[in-house]
Every structure is written in C-alpha cells, then in structure tokens.
C-alpha cells in the first residue's frame, strides 16, 4: 500500500502543477471583491491569490505586497480581522506621475463615484464593497519659468 501511495502523490503533484497555470488564467477580477480575493478569505487563501507577488511584510493581522498597476508602483495591503480578510487597498510608494491611472481604472470599472468631497475624497458604494480614494497632487510639471 505504501508503494502505491508515493506514485499517486507524485502524479497528483504533477497534475496540479500542470493545471495551475490554467486555473490562474480562469481567474478574473469579476466576481471578486478586491483583485482576486473575496471578503472573508483566510490569509492563506489571499496568499494563494497573489502567487508570484513579492511579500513586503507579513504579520498576524496584515500582508503587504509590491505591485505595479499601469506603470504605477504601489503596495497592496490586505488586512485581516479574526483571521478573515476585512479590508484591502493600494498605497502608492512615492508620489508618481502615473498615479491618476489608478483612479482612471476605478472610473472605467465603476463609473462616477457616489460621493465626492472637495474633489479629492471619492467614494464608490458597490454591492459588497466600498472603494475610497483620497487624491493628492502626485506630480506637477511647470514649464513656464515666469510662474516661479
């Protein structure tokens, strides 16, 4: 019986490795709450959804990854309560020229925000999520020296 168990386990490993790329291709952000995660996932489930991403920091309460989205370098932060995903978001690592691309993605996917305060605090209310963006001038280029 032991002799059969090892070949079966090896076959199962090869099958899962061979299928894993196809499984990843079938993931899409549609049907998920944030990236490829759903609220209530365990830290292990979230880490599986971020396979290949670099972990920056991990505690019992949160996991942080580096990511690049449309040329914008940022951190992806997942926060857990009672070992379940409760909050997630992006923070740009430094003010960058393309940071507005992240906001454009929100507009493309979710339309106009439901609440706007002072044109810098934007909130979208979705069936299972709330998206909040706090904007700041990430990059300013002055070309006319008389404006100095």
Q: Is the dihedral of CA 112, 115, 116, 120 positive or negative?
A: negative
The pTM assigned to this predicted structure is 0.61
Q: Which domain holds residue 105?
A: 2-141
Q: Is 135 exposed, middle or buried (0-12, 13-18, 19+ CB in 10 A)?
A: middle
Task: Specify the number of domains making up the chain.
Answer: 1
The token duo for 86 is: 């409760």
Structural domain contains residue 15:
yes
- What are the pLDDT digits (tens) for 74-90? 889 999 999 999 989 88
Report if residue 147 sits inside a domain.
no
In a domain, 9, yes or no: yes
Q: Does 90 map to a domain?
A: yes
Interatomic CA distance for residues 102 and 109, integer angstroms: 11
pLDDT digits (tens, 9 = 90+) for 2-54: 444 343 333 333 333 333 333 233 333 678 888 899 999 999 999 999 998 88
């Amino acid at each position: 019986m032991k002799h059969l168990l090892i070949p079966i386990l090896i076959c199962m490993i090869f099958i899962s490795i061979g299928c894993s790329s196809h499984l990843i291709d079938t993931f899409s952000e549609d049907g998920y709450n944030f990236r490829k995660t759903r609220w209530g996932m365990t830290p292990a489930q979230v880490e599986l959804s971020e396979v290949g991403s670099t972990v920056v920091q991990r505690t019992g309460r949160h996991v942080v990854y580096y990511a690049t989205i449309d040329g914008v370098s940022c951190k992806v932060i997942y926060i857990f309560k009672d070992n379940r995903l409760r909050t997630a978001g992006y923070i740009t690592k430094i003010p960058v020229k393309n940071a507005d691309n992240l906001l454009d993605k929100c507009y493309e996917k979710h339309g106009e925000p439901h609440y706007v305060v002072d044109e810098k605090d934007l909130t979208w209310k979705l069936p299972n999520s709330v998206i909040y963006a706090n904007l700041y001038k990430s990059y300013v280029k002055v070309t006319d020296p008389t404006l100095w």
